[in-house]
Structure 1
Amino acid sequence: MSKGISKDELEVMLRSEDSGVVTDALMYLCFNVNDPEWVEQKCIDAIEFGVDDDVKGLAITCIGHVARIYSRISLAATVPTLRKNLNHKALGGRARDALDDIEIFVR
């Protein structure tokens, strides 16, 4: 994946039906876009509307990364989304990990 992907390009990638394209976009934005609020919202959108559980799971993990990297997160936006997935067979463990990251790193 090339460097210097714009938010507009990431938006297009995030709307792809190809989960590989979406996961590439999530990985890129999580570690390369210095706008935690925007990244957080894109992750929430991917959790809510992702094409499959791989995309949703990675988006959940990325929320934990945002909490760890920036030591801040919108609790009102992220916590309900994560809690909603705690009992999901494929996503529950990742949701628990992200909530733990928030508890540990967000002051």
Structure 2
Amino acid sequence: MITAEQAAVAFESNRPRLISDSLISAALYVQDREWVEKWLIHFTRHSDSDVRRAAALALGHLARLHRCVSPQAVDSVRRLLPDGSLSGAAADALEDVEIFARPM
């Protein structure tokens, strides 16, 4: 488990693995969906592909757990589709949105 405060510290680090792990944990355990979405949107533009992949995975978790996600978060993950190394993760996350989330 992770708190928002712990995640924020990790997000400010320059450690891609820590950021990735913390982003996924935050999606699973931090109840403030909008706060997590803000970070996942931010990290879809990160230079490290594993961090971008974690951001996509986080969107899928948010859709499953909260049953809604913002259009901005969906669009940020949709922009990962053209990247061949991330297209599978992005497509999986968008499928989770389609299956589990209601429109906002």
Q: TM-score, normalised by structure 1?
A: 0.85
Does structure 1 residue 54 correspond to structure 2 residue 50? yes
C-alpha separation in 2, matches of 1:61 and 1:26: 9
RMSD between superposed Cα atoms in Å? 1.5
Gaps of 5+ in 2: none
- Of structures 1 and 2, the larger Rg is shown by 1
C-alpha separation in 1, matches of 2:20 and 2:59: 14
C-alpha separation in 2, matches of 1:58 and 1:87: 16
Gaps of 5+ in 1: none
Q: TM-score, normalised by structure 2?
A: 0.87
Q: Deviation of residue 99 (structure 1)?
A: 0.9
Q: Deviation of residue 10 (structure 1)?
A: 1.8
Deviation sequence 1:19-54 (CA, Å, 0-9, x none): 121122112211111111111111111112x24101
Aligned position for 2:42: 45
Does structure 1 residue 88 correspond to structure 2 residue 69? no
Q: Deviation of residue 6 (structure 1)?
A: 4.1
Q: Which stretch has the larger CA shift, 7-16 or 29-38?
A: 7-16
Does structure 1 residue 64 correspond to structure 2 residue 60? yes
Question: Is the 8 Å Cα contact of residues 17 and 51 (structure 1) preserved in structure 2?
Answer: no
C-alpha separation in 1, matches of 2:99 and 2:36: 20
Structure 1 moving runs of 4+ over 2 Å = 5-9
* Residue of structure 1 aligned with 2:7, choices 1, 10, 34: 10
